[in-house]
Amino acid sequence: MYNFTEILARTLAIGAGATLAMDVWRFFMRRAFGVNALDLGLLGRWVGHLPRGRILHDGIAQSPKIGGELALGWISHYTIGFAFAGLLPLIWGSEWLRSPTLLPALITGIATVLAPWLIMQPAMGLGFAAKNTPNPNAVRLRNTMIHTVYGIGLYTAALIVGKI
């Protein structure tokens, strides 16, 4: 059984690996097919407005810019990835870190799509599950795909971390 420090270190490494998998996927989709995903600068803008008491935006792209919003977006993106990775030992126990299996990682990854659909997109003015976007189903499909990649990344990163 791992102690708290080992669980934390492994979880952070797994979260970093899975979030990196998302970033590689986003880069590939943009380069190969011209598909754009979340602009991390806009994520940073939204996060940057939170301490100012502004949660909801009619359209985050039209909201006032925040200094350092791109850096804040990247930091937030990885912090969220770390936090979601923490669901694996929390729900499936720290033993999952020792013997990772694909199904819990996929379930976790796909379930995390609820955060953008129910929190971030509505708060950024895109509506629940992107309903206010020009093509909501395309956005939902991209969201589901990237969170599935995150789930596969959780599993793959856990296998790698387990060998270290």
What is the tally of structural domains in the chain? 1
Residue 158 lies in a domain: yes
Residue 61 lies in a domain: no
Please name which of 38, 52, 55, 69 lies closest in space to residue 119, comparing C-alpha atoms.
55
If phi over 0 gives left and psi between -120 and 50 gives alpha, with beta otherwise, what is residue 65? Answer: beta
Quick: pLDDT tens for 23-71: 999 999 999 998 887 799 999 999 999 999 999 999 999 999 999 999 9
Distance CA 7, CA 97 (A): 8
Domain that holds residue 27: 4-38+82-163
Cα-Cα-Cα-Cα dihedral sign, residues 15, 65, 38, 117: positive
Q: In the prediction, which pLDDT does 164 show?
A: 85
